Amino acid sequence: MAIDAVQLAADLKELRGLANAKLEDEPLPNGEEAGKRLRADIERYDLKSDIADLETKGYAILPPGKAKPVEFFDRLREAILRLAETRRHGELGPAMGFGATLYHLLPYDRVFEEALMAPATLTLVTYLVGYRAKLSQSTAIIKDSRAAALGMHADHSGKLPEPWPNIAQYCNVTWVTTDYTRENGAVCVWPGSHRFCRPVPDDVVFDHGREEIEVLEMPKGSVIVWHGSLWHGAVPRTTEGQRVTLVLPHVRDHVQPQEIYWATTTPEMIARNPARFSTLMGLHSPNPWLHDGPSLTARGLRPVTGSQFE
């Protein structure tokens, strides 16, 4: 059955209309105003040293309580495990060292929306990929005692042609809902590798033991944010039980998100969230469009004052 493109265009127009109306009261900042607002948020959420970590190491770790209270991570884990009972798991996860993967979780529990809109993490996302950032994935990773090592890679791989720019085009926000230890299969990183601006060489992919690579051990309730060029992977899990993680990667506005969020965004979701939520769903981007072309109210296409379109 073909998609009804006429209906799709009408639905998208309605959603974009609601999303654009949100901007009237809460316009997204541009230029100098964007810098000013970002600096104020970095101050407000006490993120100066995290920004320094993003610059020097390519990742930052928010300790328990900084992004959200620890209880919030219990809600996240419970929602993931509940959904894991009934939802189809991704096929590639276990084979590639990702464990059991559940994709596109955002619309299925409000707790994911809360994580997405948490101000401290959103400020770090803004620092890395701008105010026009779009959500790229809302994916849960569940690893049990059989979970293999995840090869070292950069998230820019397979998404951006090389050579990569210094500036992040993709960033990862990893919500840690069970303790990360070496035995539990924690994420590992090569600090500073985001500055190499290139993919992980073949001989490093499964060389997790080399001295430059650090295993990130941290308690439940932590959040890790990293630059898309950072070399990272995960060590194998050797203990019983499960490692449960939510990843919320974001992209710059010109990069195609991995998951199609406007397709599952409802008018209620737009209404109950700040305007920024609609931006994250891709609803403030003028493209993609169907036969109706870009919307006149889309960003960058505001009517010229005094024009016939005013």
Q: Which residues of the chain form contacts with ligand AKG (CB under 6 A)?
A: 141, 150, 155, 172, 187, 232, 234, 245, 247
Three-class DSSP category at 23: helix
Question: Which stretch in 61-69, 149-157, 158-166, 178-186 sits in contact with Fe ion by CB under 5 A?
Answer: 149-157
**Binding-site partner at residue 234 among Fe ion, ligand AKG, none, CB < 5 to 8 Å by type:** ligand AKG
* Min CB(41)–Fe ion separation in Å: 26
**Binding-site partner at residue 218 among Fe ion, ligand AKG, none, CB < 5 to 8 Å by type:** none
**Binding-site partner at residue 42 among Fe ion, ligand AKG, none, CB < 5 to 8 Å by type:** none
Of the candidates 192, 190, 178, the residue with the CA atom closest to the CA atom of residue 57:
192
* Min CB(172)–Fe ion separation in Å: 6
Beta-sheet pairing, 134-135 with 250-251: antiparallel
* Min CB(155)–ligand AKG separation in Å: 5
* Min CB(55)–ligand AKG separation in Å: 20
Three-class DSSP category at 251: strand
* Min CB(153)–Fe ion separation in Å: 6
**Binding-site partner at residue 187 among ligand AKG, Fe ion, none, CB < 5 to 8 Å by type:** ligand AKG
**Binding-site partner at residue 128 among ligand AKG, Fe ion, none, CB < 5 to 8 Å by type:** none
Question: Which stretch in 106-114, 130-138, 151-159, 260-268 sits in contact with Fe ion by CB under 5 A?
Answer: 151-159
* Min CB(105)–ligand AKG separation in Å: 13
Question: Which tokens is 57 given?
Answer: 């190491």
* Min CB(99)–ligand AKG separation in Å: 7
Three-class DSSP category at 247: strand
User: Nearer Cβ to ligand AKG, position 83 or 149?
Assistant: 149
Please tell me the count of residues contacting Fe ion according to CB under 5 A.
1
The one among 155, 189, 222, 248 contacting Fe ion by CB under 5 A: 155
User: Nearer Cβ to ligand AKG, position 132 or 143?
Assistant: 143
User: Nearer Cβ to ligand AKG, position 59 or 131?
Assistant: 59
**Binding-site partner at residue 123 among Fe ion, ligand AKG, none, CB < 5 to 8 Å by type:** none
Of the candidates 99, 76, 108, 250, the residue with the CA atom closest to the CA atom of residue 176:
76
What phi and psi values does residue 263 have, to the nearest 5 degrees? -70, -20
**H or E element: which one contains 286?**
none
216: left (phi over 0), alpha (psi -120 to 50) or beta: beta
Of the candidates 282, 281, 167, 280, the residue with the CA atom closest to the CA atom of residue 227:
167
Of the candidates 116, 142, 140, 107, the residue with the CA atom closest to the CA atom of residue 241:
142
Q: Largest Cα–Cα distance in the chain?
A: 68
Contact residues for 234 (Cβ-Cβ < 8 A; gap 6+): 97, 143, 147, 149, 150, 185, 186, 187, 188
Q: Which residues bind Fe ion (CB under 5 A)?
A: 155
